[in-house]
Structure 1
Amino acid sequence: MIIKVCGMREPDNIRAVEQLGTDWMGFILYDRSPRFVSRTPEYLPVSCRRVGVFVNATPAYLYNKVKELRLDIVQLHGHESPSLCAELRQYGLTVVKAFPVESEKDLELTVPYEHCCDYFLFDKRVSTFGGSGQSFPWNVLDAYQASVPFLLSGGLSPDSLAALRMFHHPRWAGIDLNSCFETAPGVKDIEALRHFIRSFRDSTL
């Protein structure tokens, strides 16, 4: 099960989260986010995959950041087209397309992307782009029948362990942790993450 910690920015915090055994680490490259990475951090992880989080970025900006941060994965939260997703995959990147979900009907939006994305990420539907820090009704995903694996996002917190233990889906591939594990925007609570990651891994073995 993939554990992704997103919204990273500070070098010492990046290093500490990496040492927890995180699989993916996310860097938000959207200037309206309070976790926006405005310059390349002095330290970048080497033992986990680097994820760049974009919202309606121009291809030039996107490819520039891929090279600058040596990204392995791009996570797209805007209105990016299936053709762009396919192009990014041809470039050699893993592509994650995020979808806001509130009802089964929202899952229909994934259909054009089924053949050009490696993963989907399901988050709560809100009026703005990017993560919400809020949860959505996971039972909606019972209707998800596509072959693309997905990550759960939106409001996952230290109190989510019991619900995660109860959640099952054949395409569930991982979780995305962010604002509910912070002491300030872009600064993760290492002890809270350490306990959560250990407990989550124990429960999914």
Structure 2
Amino acid sequence: MMIKVCGMRDVENIRSVAELGVDMIGFVFWKDSPRYVSMMSSGAGIMPDYAGDNGRCVNGGVKKVGVFVDGMPQDIVTRVYNYGLDYVQLHGSESAVMIDNLRRTLEPDIRQGVKIIKAISVETAEDVDKWREYDGVADMLLFDTKCTCAGGSGRMFDWNVLQNYDGSLPFILSGGIGPDDVQRVKDFDHPMLAGIDLNSRFETAPAVKDVEALKAFVRALRG
């Protein structure tokens, strides 16, 4: 099972989390988020805005995910290039046409092999059914708790509604997973579950992750 740690910004914190053996690190490029990564120079002490320094704080085995909420395509393309993103996570109301056009822009000239994750906000079984709009254009789905903050709410939805998901796209489970939820994650069974997303409930401050809490969680989940 893949483990994605989202909402990171501080270089040293990123390095420490990457060393835990997680699979993905997520960077939020939505300005209304307290975890927003702005386009600042590497001297500012946060995530650098170009791929050279970026590669020094995330080792090659950890995939980089950029999170966007109804972002302008050119802004997404710029950040994919500058940060060397492996995945683009779309967390707004992006249409299938927009996603298809974005992929055609990115591949192959900007970022060969870039993958697209479409997030779907979930409260009811009917919400889960929205995946059908993105069948054939997204590489992966992410099911998150429906809220006004576009992720990072710290709240968990009823995972039982995901039994209604009968698609062929693998998905990441998100929404309020915390340090005490190891057994709950282990007990959740779905053939298309690819991984989990960890964020606000592992924070000591917005965009700063508790490395020891993450270490204990990762060991317990994979041990």
In the TM superposition, residue 126 of structure 1 has moved relative to its aligned partner by 1.2
Structure 1: distance between partners of 2:83 and 2:98: 20
TM-score normalised by structure 1 residue count: 0.94
Q: Map Cα deviations across residues 166-191 of structure 1 (whole Å, 9 max, x no partner).
A: 10000000000011011110111000
Hey, what does 2:187 align to over in structure 1? 166
Structure 1: distance between partners of 2:170 and 2:102: 18
Q: Establish whether residue 39 from structure 1 lines up as the match of residue 50 from structure 2.
A: no
Equivalent in 135, 151, 154 of residue 156 of structure 2? 135
3-state SS in 1 of match to 2:220: helix
Hey, what does 1:76 align to over in structure 2? 90
3-state SS in 2 of match to 1:175: strand
Hey, what does 1:86 align to over in structure 2? 100
Count of matched residue pairs? 202
Structure 2: distance between partners of 1:33 and 1:128: 8
Hey, what does 2:200 align to over in structure 1? 179
In the TM superposition, residue 121 of structure 1 has moved relative to its aligned partner by 0.4
CA contact (8 A) 2:151 2:175 kept: no
CA contact (8 A) 2:121 2:146 kept: yes
In the TM superposition, residue 201 of structure 1 has moved relative to its aligned partner by 1.4
Equivalent in 115, 120, 124 of residue 141 of structure 2? 120
3-state SS in 1 of match to 2:180: helix
Q: Map Cα deviations across residues 115-153 of structure 1 (whole Å, 9 max, x no partner).
A: 111110001111332332110000001111000110000
Q: Establish whether residue 18 from structure 1 lines up as the match of residue 39 from structure 2.
A: no
After superposition, the Cα gap between the structure-2 partners of 1:128 and 1:188, relative to the gap in structure 1 and judged at 3 Å, is closer
Equivalent in 54, 77, 99 of residue 68 of structure 2? 54
Structure 2: distance between partners of 1:197 and 1:182: 15
Q: Establish whether residue 4 from structure 1 lines up as the match of residue 4 from structure 2.
A: yes
Structure 2: distance between partners of 1:105 and 1:149: 19
Deviates more, 1:119-128 or 1:68-77: 119-128
Structure 2: distance between partners of 1:128 and 1:182: 17
Gaps (5+ residues) in structure 2? Answer: 41-46, 108-112
Structure 2: distance between partners of 1:26 and 1:9: 9
Identity %: 47
Gaps (5+ residues) in structure 1? Answer: none
RMSD of Structure 2 on Structure 1 (CA): 1.2
State the one-letter code of the partner of 2:19: Q
Structure 2: distance between partners of 1:103 and 1:9: 32
Hey, what does 2:27 align to over in structure 1? 27
Q: Map Cα deviations across residues 62-101 of structure 1 (whole Å, 9 max, x no partner).
A: 1011111110100001011112222344423200000111
State the one-letter code of the partner of 1:3: I
Structure 2: distance between partners of 1:71 and 1:127: 26
